[in-house]
Structures are given as C-alpha cells and as structure tokens.
Amino acid sequence: MNTTAKYSQNNDKGQIMVIISFIVLIAGGLNWMSIGLLQYDFIAGFFGTQASIFSRLIYIAIGVATFIIIFNMLKNKGKVVLFTRKKQKTQDESVILEDNN
C-alpha cells in the first residue's frame, strides 16, 4: 500500500479547506470593518436582517473558518500555512519503498 499518495491526497484537501477558510475570514473581517467605520453590516444588508437564517449561516461559516485558521496556526507553530511544497522522493527513498513492496 502506498501511504505517500494517501497522505498527499489528504494534505491537499486540508490545504483547500484552509484556503477557503482564509478567504471567508477575510470577508468576515471586512464586514466587521464596515460595521465599525460605516455602521453598516453588509451581510445583514444583503440578506435583510441579522436574524435571517441566511445571515446566521454566513456568521456561523465565518466562526468555523476562524476555528480552522486557529487550529492551523497551532499545528504549524504560529504560522498560517496556505501552500506547502510537496516533498520529492530521492533516489534512496524510492529504493526503500520498492524493497518494502
């Protein structure tokens, strides 16, 4: 069983989730900036009120994105890692993998 390919696929899904969370978090931050500067909530304005189910779902999505980014920062020792380089197999690693199969 090739565990390297399995790890790579899971890592790609995690990276996509972090990128989406980062974008959602930026949108939420800009919304809070508009509330502070203009006293206008763009999300509530778009969906009618803050009590609208759609507004509340967006607020929940922003909160979940915040937790994902915080978890990413804790996992990576204070850094937000959006992209990672894939480790290329060296000649020695490919020989070891072939011997194990």
Per residue in 73-84, pLDDT (tens digit) is: 888 887 777 776
**Predicted confidence (pLDDT) at residue 11 exceeds the cutoff of 50:** yes
- The pLDDT confidence band at residue 72, using thresholds 50, 70 and 90, is confident
Q: Which H or E run contains 44?
A: helix 42-47
Domain containing 38: what range? 3-100
Model pLDDT for residues 20-64, shown as the tens digit of each residue: 999 999 999 999 999 999 999 999 999 988 899 999 999 999 999
Q: Mention every residue, 6+ apart, whose C-beta is less than 8 A from residue 58.
A: 43, 47
Pick the more confident residue, 50 or 90.
50
Distances (CA, A) of 96 to 8, 43, 69: 19, 54, 36
Cα–Cα distance, 49 to 45 (Å, whole number):
6
Q: What total of structural domains would you count in the chain?
A: 1
Whole-prediction pTM value?
0.67
